[in-house]
Amino acid sequence: MPGIKELKGTLSASLREGLLSHAVLIEGEKGTGRKELALWLAKAILCKSEERPCERCSVCRKIESGNHPDVEIYGGNGGARSFHIESIREIKNSLWLAPNESEQKVYILLNIENMTQEAQNALLKSLEEPPSHARFILTCDNRRNLLDTIVSRSTVYNLEPSPREECASALLENFPDLSEKDAELFSIACGGNFGAAKALIQEERGDIVFLAAKTPELLRGGNYYSLAAELNRKCAARADFSEYLEKLLNITGRCGIDRAAGKKTPVKVTPMEAVKTSEIIERGKLAVLQNCSVDLIESWLCMELSRVFGGNL
Ligand SMILES: [Zn+2]
């Protein structure tokens, strides 16, 4: 997965110098590779090879498969408040026991924004005075969703979504049938977030991206009704329509900016069109949140966008 190379370099260097904090907090949006980086760091901490992590020794392989007795993983894909204090109690019970095979123990706590307030408070105590053999690797979507005291006791590493070009080339590697043009388009539509783009393709929901990409052209040609019909067919569900709005916003925004800078873009959008489109989409998103009928918002959107792209109704 791209985008985490630089961070691996930074973490490797702090580990080598003995400067790595006993509590590392990896912050990044979904799809940026938080869990991958957490596992990689656990390997780097426990692997005994010269080049750490070697990804080949038994330590590295046990961690990768989730079978290392000194690496405990908690949390994961549950929703808000799904990460309970019971898990922190379990951690406390084993925290002061000596490691089994290695010299250190690593506790990986994933998506800690899902922790209850009670669990966060309990975790705080373990973070304050851990035994010297213990290390914590925490991941979250955004530090603002955590207690300040947890953030202040950790060293935070921010995982940025990978740059667009990196995302596009990783998509081409993963999906050999994808054309270069489509890889670029998916990358732009997902704001360079490789995980998000990959999921869209795997779940065969790429149609939404293609529809967003051809929206300006359809409207320029005065095809208001065919856009409305396609939206009706492909984005009848509120979640799909929201996704369409987000992709359209990303595509027009990025192409507008690139065009202003004189770069070639996969979709033709002037900077002024991009600005106007973003205003309309913000209003559309609000309407979606307010539970207006999706049908109604779609018709309204087509009409508003028609004005931007100069189509005649
Ligand atoms: Zn190794």
Distance from the Cα of residue 30 to its chain's centroid: 3
Number of domains, the chain: 2
Listed residues 158, 179, 194: the one ending a domain: 158
**Pairwise CA distance, residues 276 & 114, whole Å:** 36
Distances 92 to 84, 114, 287 between C-alpha atoms, Å: 13, 19, 46
Domain membership of residue 165 (yes or no) is no
Domain that holds residue 107: 5-158
Domain membership of residue 184 (yes or no) is no
Are 109 and 13 members of one domain? yes
Listed residues 128, 158, 188: the one ending a domain: 158
Tens-digit pLDDT profile for residues 78-100: 888 899 999 999 999 999 999 99
Instruction: Say how many Å lie between the CA of residue 134 and the centre of ligand 1.
Output: 19
Tens-digit pLDDT profile for residues 45-62: 999 999 999 999 999 999
**Pairwise CA distance, residues 262 & 142, whole Å:** 34
Domain membership of residue 268 (yes or no) is yes
Instruction: Say how many Å lie between the CA of residue 166 and the centre of ligand 1.
Output: 27
Instruction: Say how many Å lie between the CA of residue 44 and the centre of ligand 1.
Output: 7
Are 150 and 210 members of one domain? no
Domain membership of residue 47 (yes or no) is yes
Tens-digit pLDDT profile for residues 12-36: 999 999 999 999 999 998 878 899 9
Nearest CA to 6 out of 230, 150, 141, 160 is that of 160
Are 150 and 242 members of one domain? no
pLDDT at residue number 311: 58
Greater confidence (246 vs 77) lies with: 246
Instruction: Say how many Å lie between the CA of residue 192 and the centre of ligand 1.
Output: 31
Instruction: Say how many Å lie between the CA of residue 196 and the centre of ligand 1.
Output: 30
Listed residues 158, 174, 189: the one ending a domain: 158
Instruction: Say how many Å lie between the CA of residue 14 and the centre of ligand 1.
Output: 18
Are 138 and 280 members of one domain? no
Instruction: Say how many Å lie between the CA of residue 208 and the centre of ligand 1.
Output: 42
CATH number of the domain where residue 101 is located: 3.40.50.300
Domain membership of residue 194 (yes or no) is no
* 42, two tokens: 């656990």
pLDDT at residue number 111: 96
Residue 139 corresponds to which amino acid? T
Instruction: Say how many Å lie between the CA of residue 11 and the centre of ligand 1.
Output: 16
